Structure 1
Amino acid sequence: MGHSQADKAATRERVLRITSRRIRTDGVSRPGVAELMREAGLTHGGFYKHFDSRDDLIAQAATFALAEGTAKMERSAYKNDQDARAGLIDAYLAKQHRDGPATGCALVTLGAAAGRGDQQFKEAYENQVRTYLDLIASLDDDTEDSQAEAMLTLSAMVGAVLMSRAVADKHFSDQLLETVNDLLARHRSRSASA
């Protein structure tokens, strides 16, 4: 790859990274092309060197945002040597995750948009859900129910973070995260002993 091609790829990735953060905080309909390009240190005219349209940018940024979470989930899981699933749940249901939507899990912030989105957006969202389910299931010793347990765990985590960001009362928000974390741990220990 030549120097200009490498620069173009780096610029494109910078725009995608900025846009992926913005759509996680502001939604997919908010940021305008001129605003995003300015934030990336580029002119509006340079936009079309990298993307066909705003919709193309948003779709690619959503895919980028969704995929970015996989490495974070894996790192979170393997921070706890004793119980990888507990490590993942603790990190996901942390106040820092709740308070950092720009770099947090895109399943939380982009779910509604994916539901209203085109087929490409829905497929990117579904692929990420499936990736997370496979990761969570792989952390379980019990292979018979691991996929169902992964669905329950992921649904509870995504829902808890979504609601904890949406409520006004900070104490109640904290309580949502803590309660879901505790209940997932209890459910897991009951399932393991059964």
Structure 2
Amino acid sequence: MGHSKADKAASRDRVLEIAARKVREEGVTRPGIADLMKEAGLTHGGFYKHFASRDELIAQATELALTEGTAKMEETARESEEAPRAGVVDAYLAERHRDSPGTGCALVTLGAAAGRGDQHFKEAYERQVRTYLDLLAGLDGDSEDARAEAMVALSAMVGATLMARAVADGDFSDELLKTVADRLNRRVPGTSVSTD
């Protein structure tokens, strides 16, 4: 690859990464081309050298935003080898995740938009939900109820993070995260009861 082709590819990747962060922070309707290009250090006119349209960029940025979370969740599970499920729950429901939507899980920001989106958007969102469910179910070993427990955990984590970001009272936001994490971590994988 020649120097100019390498530069073009690097510029395209930079715009795509910035757009993915913006999609996680603001959803799919807000990021404007001019602002994205300016943040990437490029001119607005150069956008069409990289993407055919804003819709193409947002579709690719959405895919990237959704899939980038998988590596983070897998890494968290590996780092928490004694209790990988609890490690994932605690990391997901941490104040740091709540306060950093640009680097956080896109399922939280994009849920409502995916519900109103086109088939491609819905399929991309669904792929990521299924990926997380498989990952979480795998952390519970051979339990018959592992998939159901994964659905409960993922739904609770995404919902609690969404609400914790949306409420005005910081103490209440913290309480939402802590309470849901505590309850999920007390659940016994493979059963519908909690340990007390």
Shared fold per TM-score greater than 0.5: yes
Count of aligned positions: 194
Residues 1:75 and 2:78 are matched in the alignment: no
1:6 and 1:71 map into 2 onto residues whose CA distance is: 26
Q: How does 1:117-128 map to 2 (within 5 A)?
A: 117-128=117-128
**Which blocks of at least 5 consecutive residues in structure 2 are unaligned?**
none
Do the aligned partners of residues 102 and 58 (structure 1) sit closer, same or farther apart at CA in structure 2, a change above 3 Å counting? same
| Cα distance in 1 between the residues matched to 2:121 and 2:7 | 27
Secondary structure at the counterpart of residue 42 of structure 2: coil
Measured against aligned partners, the alpha-carbon deviations of 1:147-168 in whole angstroms (never above 9, x if no partner) come to 1111111000000100000001
Scaled by the length of structure 1, the TM-score of the pair is 0.94
Could you tell me how far 1:142 is from its partner in structure 2?
3.0
Q: Alignment RMSD, CA only?
A: 1.7
Post-superposition offset of 1:122: 1.0
- Checking the alignment, whether the CA contact within 8 Å between 2:146 and 2:190 is kept in structure 1 is no
Q: Distance in 2 between matches of 1:117 and 1:3?
A: 38
Are the aligned partners of 2:149 and 2:190 in contact in 1 as well (CA < 8 Å)? no
User: How does the TM-score come out when normalised to structure 2?
Assistant: 0.93
Question: Moved runs in structure 1, 4+ residues, more than 3 A?
Answer: none
Report the CA distance between 1:193 and its aligned residue: 8.4
Structure 1: give runs of 5+ residues left out of the alignment. Answer: none
C-alpha separation in 1, matches of 2:83 and 2:149:
15
Structure 2 CA distance, aligned partners of 1:142 and 1:185?
18
Percent sequence identity is 68
Q: Offset of 1:2 from its aligned partner?
A: 3.2
Which whole-Å CA distance do the structure 2 matches of 1:193 and 1:116 have between them?
35
- SS of alignment partner, residue 79 of structure 2: coil
Distance (whole Å) between structure 2 residues aligned to residue 42 and residue 150 of structure 1: 43
